[in-house]
Amino acid sequence: MFTTFVFTIGIGLIVLYLGLVFPTLEQKWRLYAHRSQLPPGPRVIKTGIRKPWLWFRELNQEFGDVVYLQLGPTPTIVLGSAQAAWDLLEKRGSTYSSRPRFIMGGELLSGGMRGLMAPYSPYWRRWRKLLHSGFMQRQSESYRPIQSLESTVLMHDLMRDASGFRTHLERYAASVIVTVTYGRRVEDVRTDAVVQRNAESMDRLTSVNIPGKFAVERFPALKYVPSIFAPWKAKVLEQRGRDIQFYTELMDEVRDKLSRGALNDCFAKHLLQEQSSLGMSDLEIAYTAGTPFGAGVETSAGSLASFILACVKFGKEFIPQAQRELDRVVGNERLPTFEDLPALEYVAAIASETLRWRPVAVLGGTPHASTADDVYNGMFIPKGSTVIAPLWSIHLNEADFPDPHHFKPERFLENRAYPGTFGHSAFGWGRRICPGMHLGSASVAINIARILWAFDVAPARDGEGRNIEVDIFAYSDGFNSTPLPFPCSITPRSSRHAEVVQKEYEAAVKQLKA
């Protein structure tokens, strides 16, 4: 009996040891064999930095468009130009569309249910298909009435309480996403239960998704240590229970409304209709419905906050021209509409420059991972590399965007050579490109058009009437980077513009309550 016990423990330890060591040795051997072909990179790896994209840009400036880093056991490639990102992530999408393992955040906390972190796999393909059908261009156009009504509310919020502009942008973005997803509005972003519980769930995710914090990310076999011996694992599994409860309750509400015939058309309804044909479980559906909130609120609101910052710093250079265009195309009897946008060429250039100038997904979104060895411009990129395409490097690359920190919409009116169709890379690349880009870019464009139509946005003044300077580099740390609070002045352009905002707001409220 005792011998069997010792034997079992011994075998267990050997398996654990091989599990820990073998993948590392195999990887090390391949890297050694190709050492002269690896892309250039630094000898010293900086750790614990709060804004890694600043370091990545320095590396791209020093070593070029393709930089090699050995981050712990993982070969990591940092791409620093639009062309390199396009060549690999878009053109060689079959090799570069997976994700690195996120053992704490993706596997233990989310049970593999968050498609955004999922490797290229049948599960990811089903999840992606659902997002595509829910947010592709034609479907996103059907959400425009919601975006237009919520944007009218936003203009009124800005008029009555300009200093709270950030909260109003967040309410707009949250309400559009929650309405589109679950068929119900968000009236107060600070108290809404769905917003609060989503924020808690996001906090749980960000608290475990910290590179280098948990040994299990370096030694994946530790994932199988029973929770009783691993308090970190017990805690993350307990947190997973809370996420499951939250997402399931939300979906149960949707099912209940559907059975009472009280559910508007929304993404969650579409998921329920597609569920059986895709063979997805209730839990998979519940997590999928949670995706747009996690990916679409901060990105939309943060982009609009950057636009306000650009107005304060550079507004004198571009606002007059935009307002002349708006006056010519729209007049002063109504707010701009989605139908006006094709005729607002300069406003469209401002929207593109906003997404370029301060990309909210500053690291280019979640890193990609390669699934086969590859050679690019003579450089060896090993299978299993984490590939980061930081938009801070790509959008601030002087070769594509001279004087890159200057906000210049004119860039998007010139004929520039740039891979892809947008002239920027704000929504990523290839098979992982942002599925919410039509909804997100429509939110950015309509609100920029309306803010410029309705308001003068300028620096705030101090007690002596002097302009208060803003810092265009004061941005948050974290996965998404958005402007830190800054002062500004947002005032109606004229009493006529204020009357129009008031009148359209009253009509919008009636429609939203109907």
Least CB distance from residue 116 to ligand HEM, whole Å? 4
Three-class secondary structure of residue 219 per DSSP: coil
> Is position 299 an interface residue for ligand HEM (rule: CB under 6 A)?
yes
Strands 66-71 and 379-381: unpaired
239 vs 443 by CB, closer to ligand HEM: 443
Q: Which helix (H) or strand (E) holds 333?
A: none
> Looking at 58-66, 334-342, 375-383, 436-444, which segment touches ligand HEM (CB under 6 A)?
436-444
Least CB distance from residue 444 to ligand HEM, whole Å? 5
Answer for the pair 76, 45: CB distance below 8 angstroms, yes or no.
no
**How many CB atoms lie under 10 A from the CB of residue 265?**
11
- Which of residues 315, 390, 436, 483 is near ligand HEM by CB under 6 A? 436
Q: Which helix (H) or strand (E) holds 435?
A: none
- Which of residues 60, 148, 291, 447 is near ligand HEM by CB under 6 A? 291
- Which of residues 168, 171, 432, 497 is near ligand HEM by CB under 6 A? 432
Q: How many residues does the chain have?
A: 514
> Looking at 3-11, 148-156, 217-225, 421-429, which segment touches ligand HEM (CB under 6 A)?
421-429
- Distance from first CA to last CA of the chain, Å, rounded? 74
Across-strand partners of 383? Answer: none
52 vs 459 by CB, closer to ligand HEM: 52
Of 338-367, which residues contact ligand HEM (CB under 6 A)? 355, 360-361, 364-366
> Is position 131 an interface residue for ligand HEM (rule: CB under 6 A)?
yes
Least CB distance from residue 432 to ligand HEM, whole Å? 4
336-374 core/surface letters (b: 16 or more CB in 10 A; e: else)? bebebbeebebbbbbbbbbbbbbbbbbbbbbbbbbbeeb
> Looking at 149-157, 242-250, 333-341, 424-432, which segment touches ligand HEM (CB under 6 A)?
424-432
Least CB distance from residue 433 to ligand HEM, whole Å? 6
> Is position 306 an interface residue for ligand HEM (rule: CB under 6 A)?
no
Answer for the pair 312, 488: CB distance below 8 angstroms, yes or no.
yes
198 vs 303 by CB, closer to ligand HEM: 303
Concatenated DSSP letters for 383-408? TT-EEE--HHHHTT-TTTSSSTTS--
CA–CA distance, 170 with 176 (Å, rounded to integer)? 10
Least CB distance from residue 425 to ligand HEM, whole Å? 8
Query: In the bound complex, which residue of the shown chain has the CB atom lying closest to ligand HEM?
Result: 436
434 labelled binding-site residue: yes
- Which of residues 84, 439, 452, 500 is near ligand HEM by CB under 6 A? 439
> Is position 247 an interface residue for ligand HEM (rule: CB under 6 A)?
no
Answer for the pair 368, 379: CB distance below 8 angstroms, yes or no.
no
Three-class secondary structure of residue 83 per DSSP: helix
> Is position 286 an interface residue for ligand HEM (rule: CB under 6 A)?
no
What DSSP state is assigned to residue 98? B
Alpha helices in 331-482 (DSSP H): 345-357, 391-394, 437-454
Q: Which residues are annotated as a binding site for heme?
A: 434
Judged by the rule CB under 6 A, the positions of this chain that interact with ligand HEM are 116, 128, 131, 135, 291-292, 295-296, 299-300, 303, 355, 360-361, 364-366, 426-429, 432-436, 439-440, 444
Q: Which residues are annotated as a binding site?
A: 434
